[in-house]
Homo-oligomer: A and B are copies of this chain.
Amino acid sequence: MYKQYCGRLDTSHKDQFITLNGWVQKRRDLGGLIFIDLRDREGIVQVVIDPEHIETNDDLSKIRNEFCLEIKGHVRLRPQQQINHKITTGEIEINANTLKVISSADNLPLDFNQNNSEEQRLKYRYLDLRRTEMSQKLKARSRITSIIRNFLEEHDFLDIETPVLSKSTPEGARDYLVPSRVHPGDFYALPQSPQIYKQLLMVAGFDKYYQIVKCFRDEDLRADRQPEFTQVDIETSFLTSAEIRNIAESLVRRLWTQTLDIELPQFPVYTYDYVMETYGSDKPDLRNPLKIIDFKRSLSSCSLGIIQESLSDENYVKGLCIPNGSKLSRKEIDNYIAYAKTFKSKGLIWIKLNNIKDGLNGIQSSIKKFLTDEILNNIIKACDAEDGDILFISVDKKSNVLNILGELRNKIGNDLNLIRLDEWQPLWVVDFPMFETSEDGNLQAMHHPFTSPKETSVDKILENPLELLSNSYDMVINGYEVGGGSVRIHSQEIQAAIFKLLHLDEDEQQDKFGFLLEALSYGAPAHGGIAFGLDRLVMLLVGTNNIRDVIAFPKTTSASDLMMNAPSSVDINVLKDLSITVE
């Protein structure tokens, strides 16, 4: 007699005497017998109880849903007409000999047969996780991390832990702080990533490091963000960015084959400039067939004011051609124009191509009176448009046009079901700019300040920082940025130059990063790495778009734990111990 999982039983266990532990999923009383669907984390099996012959000390009449039971009995084949082909255990059932109630269950605050509010589900997370749909996701996550670890260990990566009680590093978001009791007035920071530690592990000579590690950002949360998230953190020495990408791509390829039995296509490598110009996003969903098209030349003879002005200034004239979009109503078009306005659009030009061969007579357009047959012809040629298409064109400065059209591309792709949902479309985005200009006009690092520029001359770096490209790469799958990384700076001079561009004077450099700069003077290896967002990878692999589905105990968008009621107030004496007071 041995313990078995309900969900793993099948005809191969016929006649075996087994012990099961599980929960009552359903009870039916029929012809003097009690039929119980018993559930454990592996699935469900049918248990048949004959009240006349079962050995038990418990009151069978009281047993109902979510009672926790121990059942001993024999596995037997079901009669032919009772076979259930929908579940893997559907050909067998358990003829119960003994039954023990391990725990009874009060009426549950969640109803598993209907939708419960997310608030209730989070408060009673330990019950919500009993639903097969939920438990399967956490099981998949466990398997996914296991595949990742096995892959990396096969490739000589060492699992090395780095501190959680750490020091603030400039990753761009707010840190969570931890007051020190021993050093009154001082604080630790929870890491936004183990960035500097992993670089120092390279200086120490470990050359292939990985860690699956919690990271923390005190940001204003969005639906797909959590204050703590899990990173698959990888760093290597002596490899080129192409070699690092190759390892990362092989890892992701293996995840897809081993969890979904799907061979991913080769990952195309696109530059940041290309994907911004073509998709209006640095994480384009390539399942969406829409591309951004340049209409500046084809519209050049159009007398519309903003078009003419764009010829002399540097403004963009770009647009999207939506197949079969001419069926959009005037109201729908207006809605898209309004949607674009939320991204600083001043308006959109639209052209409905009903009958191309009829020329101007075959179209409708917001700028029809500024069009000629020749201009129309040029436009149609520029985008290979066909009858029934609609064009949306934005005229504005570059960054606005690309952002507006990128957002519109996503929305229209979704609305019109243009996205090929059965496909996987991974890609690499490379050659990001080193810097962008922040709202206050200062330079800020687009990745982080340890990212290597492609330029290696310190003079040239200081000369034209906004022109610099970085040796960085993001992995994007179906519009999600699942990972990102870079080759790092391993030259003290270049690192100091980058800090200088980021307005750290020498004192500040020494104060904040003196140890890093010094480390680079003792034989630092060339190194680089990548970090994957594990939560996002799991989301993609299990097919959910709610990040809370793949985390055992997630927090709300206001960073609360509704189950335990955290954060919460603490005793005044505890704060006194920490030398802090609440304002």
Contacts and interface: CB of A to CB of B under 8 A. Distances in A.
Interface of A: 3, 5, 21-24, 39-41, 66-68, 70, 102-106, 108, 123, 125-127, 129-130, 135, 138-139, 141-142, 145-146, 149, 153, 156, 158-168, 174-190, 196-197, 200-201, 203-207, 214, 216, 218, 227-228, 230, 237-238, 490-491, 515, 519-526, 551-553, 555, 558-561, 563-570, 574, 576-583
Contacts of A230: 161
Nearest to A243: B3
Given A70-B238, A105-B522, A190-B178, A126 B201 contact: yes
Nearest to A203: B126
Contacts of A24: 523
For the complex of A and B, the 4 pairs showing the least CB-CB separation, nearest first, are: A105-B523, A129-B204, A186-B567, A167-B566
A176 B174 contact: no
Given A177-B179, A237-B21, A135 B205 contact: yes
Nearest to A65: B523
Nearest to A522: B105
Given A165-B555, A180-B559, A185-B582, 11 more contacts: A21-B525, A70-B238, A105-B521, A135-B204, A163-B228, A163-B555, A164-B164, A177-B578, A178-B190, A197-B552, A515-B563
Contacts of A153: 146
B564 A166 contact: yes
B207 A21 contact: yes
Given A41-B207, A104-B523, A205-B135, A218 B181 contact: yes
Given A515-B565, A553-B162, A580 B579 contact: no
B552 A201 contact: yes
How many copies of this kind of chain does the complex include? 2
A191 to B, nearest CB: 11
B161 A551 contact: yes
A104 B104 CA distance: 70
B515 A564 contact: yes
B106 A522 contact: yes
A214 B168 contact: no
A228 B146 contact: no
A244 B427 CA distance: 46
A452 to B, nearest CB: 13
Contact of A182 (B23, B197, B552, B558): B558
A265 to B, nearest CB: 27
B176 A160 contact: no
B187 A567 contact: yes
23 contacts: A21-B238, A41-B205, A41-B206, A41-B207, A67-B523, A108-B522, A127-B204, A129-B205, A135-B204, A142-B159, A145-B159, A164-B190, A165-B561, A165-B567, A176-B188, A182-B558, A182-B559, A183-B567, A187-B569, A188-B567, A576-B583, A579-B583, A580-B583
A522 B204 contact: no
